[in-house]
């Protein structure tokens, strides 16, 4: 009888841990037709986290076998990816930086793109969609497109340019330019899994 009771108590735990979410397989757009983002590295972190699709966990990003620590100011926003996008053969999703209060790894959010940053790392072009939460109550910035973001928050744009150009000395990152939300949307469509 005791063994039976123990199994009944452990069964829900086993089910809970075996049903881990595959964040990369979530839809790019929610049922409300809003772009979705999955947060990997929370705003304010200095440790870069990435989603491991095989383990279905958020783990420290490794560089030469060591956890990648930012030796600069902490992340200025919540860095993550847009689900069901794939920009390389390793399955990496299109990056998104959500300008909002700190969100924990694995947070799924509906977002509105307000622009796209173009960077160059070691000779390769890197795109990061810059977004704000779709829910007005979660927004810290009163911007829902590139024009309002540029007009109302030129300082935020400058901070992002400086931060991404300096946070990883070994990457030799160079800021290339800003693009609007329409360009960001085309980039999202370009990398969506079919």
Give the domain CATH number at 64: 3.90.80.10
Rg, C-alpha atoms of the chain? 18
Q: What would the pLDDT profile of 147-162 be if each residue is shown by its tens digit?
A: 999 999 999 999 999 9
In a domain, 145, yes or no: yes
> What is the chain's mean pLDDT, rounded?
90
Total residues belonging to the chain? 194
- The full DSSP string for 96-155 is EEE-SS---TT-EEEEEEEEEEEEEETTEEEEEEEEEESSGGG-SS--SSHHHHHHH-HH
In a domain, 12, yes or no: no
* Count of the separate structural domains present in the chain: 1
In a domain, 137, yes or no: yes
In a domain, 89, yes or no: yes
- Give the structural domain span for 168: 22-191
In a domain, 8, yes or no: no
Dihedral sign of CA atoms 90, 24, 97, 65 in order: negative
pLDDT confidence tier of residue 9, bands split at 50, 70 and 90:
low
In a domain, 15, yes or no: no
Assess contact for 107 and 38: CB atoms under 8 A: yes
In a domain, 10, yes or no: no
Q: What would the pLDDT profile of 82-130 be if each residue is shown by its tens digit?
A: 999 999 888 899 999 999 999 999 999 999 999 999 999 888 999 999 9
* Mean pLDDT on 167-173: 83
Query: Where does residue 107 rank: exposed (0-12), middle (13-18), buried (19+ CB within 10 A)?
Result: middle
Nearest to 159 by CA among 178, 172, 144, 138: 178
In a domain, 90, yes or no: yes
Give residue 117's pLDDT.
98
């Amino acid at each position: 009888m005791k063994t039976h009771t123990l199994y009944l108590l452990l069964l829900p735990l086993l089910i809970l841990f075996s049903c881990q979410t595959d964040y990369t397989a979530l839809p790019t757009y929610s049922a409300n037709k809003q772009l979705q983002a999955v947060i990997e590295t929370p705003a304010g972190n200095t440790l870069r986290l990435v989603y491991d699709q095989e383990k279905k966990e958020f783990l420290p990003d490794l560089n030469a076998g060591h956890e990648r620590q930012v030796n600069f100011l902490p992340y200025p926003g919540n860095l993550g990816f847009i689900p069901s996008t794939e920009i390389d053969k390793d399955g990496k999703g299109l990056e998104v930086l959500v300008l909002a209060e700190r969100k924990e790894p694995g947070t799924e959010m509906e977002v509105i793109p307000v622009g796209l940053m173009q960077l160059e790392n070691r000779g390769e072009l890197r795109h990061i969609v810059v977004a704000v939460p779709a829910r007005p109550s979660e927004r810290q910035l009163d911007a829902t497109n590139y024009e309002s973001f540029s007009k109302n928050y030129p300082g935020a744009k400058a901070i992002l340019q400086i931060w991404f150009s300096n946070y990883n000395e070994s990457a030799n990152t160079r800021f290339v330019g800003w693009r609007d939300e329409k360009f960001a949307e085309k980039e999202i469509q370009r990398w969506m899994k079919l």
